[in-house]
Amino acid sequence: MGVVAGVDSSTQSCKVELRDLDDGSLLGRGSAPHPPAFAPCSEQSPVDWWTAFERAFGIAVTAAGIAADDVTALSVAAQCHGLVALADDDSVIRPAKLWNDTTSAPQLNHLRESIGEQAWIAAVGSLPTAAFTLSKIAWLREVEPAAFDRLARICLPHDWLTRELTGAHVTDRSEASGTGYYSTARGRYLLEYLQLIDPNTEWANAVPRVLGPDDAAGTASTVAARRLGVRPEALVGAGGGDQHAAALGLAVEPGDVVYSIGTSGVVYTVSPDPVFDRTGTVDGVADMAGGYLPLVSTLNAARVTDWAQGILGVDHAGASTMALAAEFGRAPVLAAFFDGERKPNRPDATATLGALTAATTREDIARAAFEGVLMGLVRGQHSMNSAGVATDGRVVITGGGSRSPAYRQILADLTGREVTVADPVDADEATARGAAIQAAAVATGGAVIDVRRAWAPRSHVVAEPAAHSEDTRRELFERYMRVADWDGLDVTSRSSTSGPFARSNGPSPT
C-alpha cells in the first residue's frame, strides 16, 4: 500500500494527513501547535514550524498504524506571504514576518508610489498590501539593515519547510504570485521591483525557482528529513499556499465560491484565466492546478467572534445560539477591523460598532460579530463578480468557522443561497487534503487536476436562507457599508463615488 502525506503549516498549528495513494482514503491525522502570533507585529521562528511538523507527523503515523518509511511522497502547504530571510549558510537570520504582520505598511505605501497602483495590478494581478512579501523585504532593508546585509535567499513559509526536506530552493506558482514581485501571466519574477529596495543585491540568486503544479521539488534526503523516518527517495511536491491547497482539497470548480473562516477570512473561487481587478480588491493569484484563484482575504475573522464570546461571557456554542436568536436585520453593524485590515487596506484601523439603539440586546451583539466577519467577505464576492468572475455555483463554507451553526446560517441569510460543507470528516482539513492530492500526483506521475477530481469529497447542504426579502438584505448591507466607511472609497485609497459597491448594486452576490 502506498501512502502520501499532506502538510498544512498554518499560523496556529501544523496538521498532517496520511492518505492511501490508491483511493485517497484517510489513514491518520496529527496536529501540533505553533506559538501564538498577533498583529501588528506578528512573527514566528521557522524552527518552531519544523518542531511542530515533526510532532504532527509522528502522531499521524501512529494514528495510521504504519511505519514512517511507508510514506512515498509528501507535499507542504503553508500560510502565505511571510518572509523567511536566509543567510549564505542557510541559517535563518531573524524570526519570520507573517502575513498578518502590518508593520511594513509605510514601506508598502512607498512602493505603491514608486511602482504605481494600476501598473502593479496589471503586472501581478493584485494590488499588494502589507501582507505581501515585497513590503516585508523593504521593511528589513530600512529597519534592520544589518540583518538585510546578511540576506542571501528569500523563502516563504512553505518554501522553507520544503527546503528543509529536500535542500532545494524552490517555490510554486501559487506562492510566487502572492509576493508582489512575480507575474504569473508572464511566468517570471519582476526583479526590477526588488531592485527598488536595493539595486546592489543579486536578487536573481535570492529568489527560489518556481515549479509547476505537477513538478517534484526533490526527495526527502536531508538530515532533517531523516528525523521524520521517511525513506530518502520519498518524493516531495512543489507545495503551495494554504487556501490554494484547500481549493484542491475541496475540488473547487469554476463558479463555486468558498468562504473560509479561520484566523483570516477568505472568499475565493477558481478560474482558468488570469484576473485583473483594477480596484485592487481582488487578488488575482495563481492556484495549485495550473489556473488561477481569485480571492479576497481579510485579517479579521474567527478572532472577532472569539472577542464577542469573551465580552458576552459565553462559549462557542453559546455565542452561536445567541446570534441565531437575534432578528435578522435588527442587529447593530460591526466593521470588524480589530487588528487593522488588508481589504480594505487599513493597517491602522480599529473596529467600529454602529447602529446601536436602546433596544439592542446581547443576542444582537452576538449576531453583529458573526455578520461583521461575513459582511467583509460578502463584499469580496461582489468585487469578484464586478471583476468578471462567476460565483453562481456552490456556496461552500470551510475552516474552523464552518463548524459554527451561526456562521453557516448567517452566511445563507446574507447571500440568499444554500450553504454546503464537505464531508464532515474532511471539512476542517481541506488544506492538508489538498497537499496530499499534490503528493499523490507527484508519486504517480499524474496530473494534480486529475487526482483532485478523483478524490473529490462529498458535500451536503448545512443551511438554507430564511425567508428574508432582497430589500432587507440590501438595507443591511448598505448599513454595513456606511459603518465600515466603504462608501466612496475603494481599496486603492482614491476617492470615487462609483465602482463595484455603489449602492445601486445591492448586497446580494450573483
Give pLDDT, residue 428: 59
The pLDDT tens digits along the chain (510 residues) read 699 999 999 999 999 999 999 999 999 999 999 999 988 999 999 999 999 999 999 999 999 999 999 999 999 999 999 999 999 999 999 999 999 999 999 999 999 999 999 999 999 999 999 999 999 999 999 999 999 999 999 999 999 999 999 999 999 999 999 999 999 999 999 999 999 999 999 999 999 999 999 999 999 999 999 999 999 999 999 999 999 999 999 999 999 999 999 888 999 999 999 999 999 999 999 999 999 999 999 989 999 999 999 999 999 999 999 999 999 988 899 999 998 888 888 888 899 999 999 999 999 999 999 999 999 999 999 999 999 999 999 999 998 899 999 999 999 999 999 999 987 655 558 999 999 999 999 999 999 999 999 999 999 999 999 987 788 898 999 999 999 886 544 434 332 222 222 322 333 333
Catalytic residue among 8, 70, 159, 242: 242
Domain count, the chain: 1
SS3 at position 162: helix
Known catalytic residue: 242? yes
Return d(Cα 368, Cα 363) in angstroms, integer.
9
Longest Cα–Cα distance of the chain, Å, equals: 67
Q: What is the CATH number of the domain that holds 175?
A: 3.30.420.40
Give the residue numbers spanning the domain of 35.
3-244+428-459
Q: E strands, 417-478, where?
A: 419-422, 459-463
Per the document, the length of the chain is 510
41 dihedral zone (left: phi>0; alpha: psi -120 to 50; beta): beta
Residue 507 lies in a domain: no
Give pLDDT, residue 492: 41
CB within 8 Å of 306: residues ≥ 6 apart: none
As to burial, measured by CB atoms within 10 angstroms (0-12 exposed, 13-18 middle, 19+ buried), residue 400 is middle
Residue 40 lies in a domain: yes
Residue 161 lies in a domain: yes
Whether the CB-CB separation of 477 and 506 falls below 8 Å is answered with: yes
Return d(Cα 438, Cα 248) in angstroms, integer.
8
Query: What are 159's three cell numbers?
Result: 518554501
Residue 158 lies in a domain: yes
Nearest to 345 by CA among 39, 131, 499, 43: 131
Give pLDDT, residue 509: 37
Give pLDDT, residue 486: 64
Residue 318 lies in a domain: no
Give pLDDT, residue 330: 87
Residue 471 lies in a domain: no
For 86-150, give the secondary structure using H, E and C: ECCCCCECCCEECCCCCCCHHHHHHHHHHHCHHHHHHHHCCCCCCCCHHHHHHHHHHHCHHHHHC
Residue 272 lies in a domain: no
CB within 8 Å of 117: residues ≥ 6 apart: 127, 280, 492
Residue 310 lies in a domain: no
Helices then strands (H, E): number in the chain?
18, 24
The model carries a pTM of 0.89
Return d(Cα 503, Cα 501) in angstroms, integer.
6
Give pLDDT, residue 21: 96
Give pLDDT, residue 92: 98
